[in-house]
Structure 1
Amino acid sequence: MASESRKPILISGSGLASLLLAQSLRQANIPFLIFERDASISFRAQGYRLRLSAEGLEAIESVLSPETWKMFWDKCGKTGGMGFAALDAITGEDITNEPEKPTYKPEKPSDPESKNQPLALASRDGKIVGIARGDMRKVFLDGCEPYMHWSHNVTGYELTDSGVRAIFADGSKSVEGDMLVGGEGIYSKVAKQVSDGKIKTYDTGARGIHGQASTTAFKGLGEGVWRIADESNPKGRVFAITNLRPDEMNDPNINFGWTMGGQPGVIQAPNDNYSIVGVEAAKIAKELTKNWHPRVRPLFTEMVESEAAFWKITCSTPTGVPEWKNEPRVTVIGDAAHSMTPAGGIGANTAVRDSALLGRLLTEAGGWKEGVTAAYEKEMRVYASEAVKGSYGMATKQFGVVIDENSPTV
C-alpha cells in the first residue's frame, strides 16, 4: 500500500460500512487497519438479505473499483415481476392494495409518524436490487484481508500528541493512527466515548428471527418482494418478508432467506437470551407460523434450522442523529452513529452513504487532516437524521413501537 509514511486510519469493526470505507481508502492508497472482535468473517451468522436503494447503489459504485463493482453487481439479485406484494398469512389472500392497519396513532402533530410517510425503495432499471448481507460483506472484504486484525475487540481509544490509539478488551493498544473510525455497530464503545454518551440506541422491545429454506419451499409464491402479515396473534402482529429472484427460483440447491418480525412481547427467546441461534430460534418461528396458510407455511416447516437466529429491533433517538462536540481524530459510521429499525430497509443504505462520504473527504485530503471529521458529521447528520425519522415513523405502524428518552437502551 502506498503512502506508508502516513500513520494508518484505524477502523473498529468489520461490518458493511467499515469494509466499504476500507475499500475507499484502498483505492486512494491511504493506509488503514481494521480491528474486528470476531475470529473470522464466518464466526457468526451474517443475517438477512438487504434491499438496496438508488442512493445506496450509487454510494457503493462510487467507491468500488470497476472489477470489484462487477463482482458485487453479479452477486446482486434483480427482482422485477410482481415487485412488492402482501399476503394474509392465515388465508393466503393478496392484500397488497389494502391499507395497513396502524398500531399507533400520533398524539400530536410533532410525533414522528405524522411527518414521515413510507419511503419507496427504488433501485435500478425498474428492478428491486438485493444481496445477502454475507455476500456483500465478502465482496467488500476483497483485497482488505492483509489489513484485518481478527479477535481484537475495541473498547475505547486514547488520543496522543499526534494521533490516536485504539484500546482493546485485554488492555492492549493499537499502533498509533492518524484517525479512528468507529464502525462496530449498535454496541460501539467508540460511539459512546466520542459523543460523551449522546449517541443512544434504544431497545424498541420488538423482536425478529432470520431464517432460510430451499427454493422448493417458496413454490407457493413467485418472483418479487413479499410481505406476509398475520393479524390473528392475540399477543400482537407478526409478519415475514422475503425477496425471490427469478434466476434462482428453480435451483433446489439455493436457499432463499426470510426475516420475521413481531410486535413487543410476541417473539421471546428462552431466558431472554437473544444470542441463542439454531434450533431454539427455529422452534419459535415454527410455533408462530403453525396456523399459516399452506401457501407460505413451507418457508418455516422446511427451514434450515441451523441458520435461524434472533435479532433485536433497535432505533436511535427518533428525532435524528444528535449533536456532540467534534473530535478531529475520531468519528463513527453506520449503526454506530445511527441505528434504525428494519422498516423500509433504510439502515444499510444509509451506512454505505456514510462510507462513501467519509472516504471521499479523506481521499480529497490525501488522508486525515483537521476538519475532515467535522465536515463528514455535518453532512451525515442531515441525511441520516431524515432516515432515522423515516424508519421510526414506519416502525410505529409496522411494529407498534413507541420510544422516548426514558426507553431502555442497549
Structure 2
Amino acid sequence: MATTTRKPILISGAGLSSLLLAQSLLRASIPFQIFERDASVSFRAQGYRLRLSSEGLDAIESVLSPSDFQKFWDTCGKTSGAGGGFTTLDALTGSPPPAETSSDDKPKAPPMSLTSRDGKTIGISRGDMRRLFMSGCEPFINWSHRVTSYELTPSGVRAVFADGSKSIEGEMLVGGEGIYSGVAKQVSGGRIKTYDTGARGIHGQAPSTAFQGLGEGVWQVRDTSRSQGHVFIITNVRSGDMDNPDVQFGWTMGSHPGVIKAPNDDYSMIGAPAASIAQELTANWHARLRPLFEQMNVSEAAFWKITCSTPTGVPQWTNEPRVTVIGDAAHSMTPAGGIGANTAVRDSALLGRLLGEKGGYEGGVTEAYEREMRGYASEAVRASYGFAKRQFGISIDENSKTV
C-alpha cells in the first residue's frame, strides 16, 4: 500500500464483504484498518458452499486484478444441472416427485435458474472465498477486536470496542460485522432489524464418494412425510471429485420452524449434537441418500439459525456521511436461492468503486452508496424472503422476534 497522510478507512468485521471491500481499497492505495472479533481466521467454522450468481461474479471480477480473479475462478467449482436449477428428489423414494401444480391446476413455474456462467452453476466454499479475499490484507487486520459502536470526531470517526477502548481516528467507518452489528443498529437508529424466522438448519459434510448415488448436479431433497413440518437438504455435487475419498462435499439441511431443535436451545453447538439430529431425521430416507449422513464428518456438523431482514426491503435512515454498512449488517437474508452472499459482494464492489473514484473518503460517498444499494438489496431481500416462505414455511412481520 502506498504511503499516504490520509487517515484510514475503518472496517468492522473480516467477513467476505469486508475483505472484498479491502481489496478495492488495496488496489486504489487507500489506507484501511480491519477490526475482527475472532482471534484468527481459523477461529470458527466457515460455513457452507456458496453459489455465485452472474451479478456476484461480475462484482468480484470488477474488484480483483485479472490474475487474482483467474485464481478465484480456478478455485470455483462448475456444476452442470438439469435445466439450470435444482433437481428435486423425494427423500423416501429417492426419485423425483410427481409434477406439482398451482391452485389453478396449471404447472408451477420452473425453479429459479442457478447458472451464472458457461451454463454452469458456480460455487465456492466460504473458507476458500475468505482466504482468497484476505490475500494481501493480512497486515491490516486487527484480530480479537470486537466493534460494538462508534463515536464521531470533529474530523473523522473512531470505532469503540467491547472493552471500552477505541480505535485510531479514521476518515470513515464501514460496518461489515454481520447480523449482530452494533454499527448498523447505531447508524440506522435501530431501523435495521434482523428477524428470527424460527426455522433452523444443520450444515454437514461427507466424503465425495458418499454422493455417488446422486451424481453431478444441484440437488434438493425433500421429506414431506412429517406432520410437524418438512425437512429438506440442498447439495451441489461437482464433477471430477466423486471418486476421491479425500475430497468432501457439503450439504445444508433446513426445516420448518420447530422441527430441528438444538439441545438446550444452544445453536452454537457443533459436532456430535448436530450430526446425531441430522442422522435421526434422515434414518428412513432412501438408500441412495443415506450415505450423505451415515458417512458424514461428525466434527464438521453445525446448527444454524435462519434469519431475515425486514421482508419489505432495506429501510430508510438518516445518512451519516462518515458511517455506513455492508453485507449482512445492512441486509440479512435467508439461504434460499443463495442470494445473500451475492448481494454482499455487490455492496463491496459498489462502495469500493465510489471510494476509489474519489481517492478515499469524500462527503456524499456513503449517501450515494446507500441510495444505490437500497434499490438492489431491497429487491434481493424480498426475493429471499419469498423463496423461504414457500420453502421453509416461515412468516415474519414487523412484530416478529428479532435477534
Partner in structure 1 of residue 148 of structure 2: 155
Given that residues 166 and 174 in structure 1 are in contact (C-alpha distance below 8 angstroms), is that contact kept between their aligned partners in structure 2?
yes
Greater relative contact order, per chain length (Cα 8 Å cut-off, separation 6+): 1
Alignment of 1:209-220 (within 5 A): 209-220=202-213
Given that residues 164 and 177 in structure 1 are in contact (C-alpha distance below 8 angstroms), is that contact kept between their aligned partners in structure 2?
yes
What is the aligned counterpart of 1:341 among 334, 338, 345?
334
Unaligned runs of 5+ in 1: 103-115
Given that residues 277 and 310 in structure 1 are in contact (C-alpha distance below 8 angstroms), is that contact kept between their aligned partners in structure 2?
yes
Distance 1:10 1:359 in 2: 13
Partner in structure 1 of residue 314 of structure 2: 321
Partner in structure 1 of residue 295 of structure 2: 302
Given that residues 81 and 218 in structure 2 are in contact (C-alpha distance below 8 angstroms), is that contact kept between their aligned partners in structure 1?
no
CA separation of 1:368 and 1:383: change in aligned 2, threshold 3 A: same
CA separation of 1:334 and 1:178: change in aligned 2, threshold 3 A: same
Partner in structure 2 of residue 99 of structure 1: 100
Moved over 6 A (4+): none
Instruction: Name whichever of 33-42 and 80-89 sits farther off.
Output: 80-89
The reply to whether residue 352 of structure 1 matches residue 307 of structure 2 is no
Partner in structure 2 of residue 244 of structure 1: 237
Distance 1:43 1:94 in 2: 40
Shift of residue 366, structure 1, vs aligned partner: 0.5
Distance 2:263 2:308 in 1: 23
Shift of residue 219, structure 1, vs aligned partner: 1.1
Given that residues 3 and 30 in structure 1 are in contact (C-alpha distance below 8 angstroms), is that contact kept between their aligned partners in structure 2?
no
Normalization by structure 2: what TM-score?
Answer: 0.96
Partner in structure 2 of residue 394 of structure 1: 387
Deviations 1:210-229 (A, max 9, x none): 01000111110010100000
Partner in structure 2 of residue 80 of structure 1: 80
Deviations 1:350-408 (A, max 9, x none): 00000000000000011000000000000000000000001111111100000011100
Unaligned runs of 5+ in 2: 104-108
What is the aligned counterpart of 1:128 among 121, 134, 156?
121
The reply to whether residue 234 of structure 1 matches residue 231 of structure 2 is no
Given that residues 173 and 322 in structure 2 are in contact (C-alpha distance below 8 angstroms), is that contact kept between their aligned partners in structure 1?
yes
CA RMSD of aligned residues (A): 1.4
Shift of residue 67, structure 1, vs aligned partner: 1.9
Given that residues 117 and 393 in structure 1 are in contact (C-alpha distance below 8 angstroms), is that contact kept between their aligned partners in structure 2?
no
Aligned length: 396
The reply to whether residue 277 of structure 1 matches residue 270 of structure 2 is yes
Instruction: Name whichever of 44-53 and 116-125 sits farther off.
Output: 116-125
What is the aligned counterpart of 1:169 among 162, 168, 174?
162
Letter in 1 for 2:99: E
The share of aligned pairs that are identical, in percent, is 72
CA separation of 1:100 and 1:178: change in aligned 2, threshold 3 A: farther
* Residue aligned with 1:186, SS: coil
Partner in structure 1 of residue 106 of structure 2: none
Shift of residue 99, structure 1, vs aligned partner: 2.6
Letter in 2 for 1:216: T
* Residue aligned with 1:346, SS: helix
Deviations 1:65-100 (A, max 9, x none): 1221111111100011545311100111123x7238
Deviations 1:97-126 (A, max 9, x none): 723889xxxxxxxxxxxxx99643331010
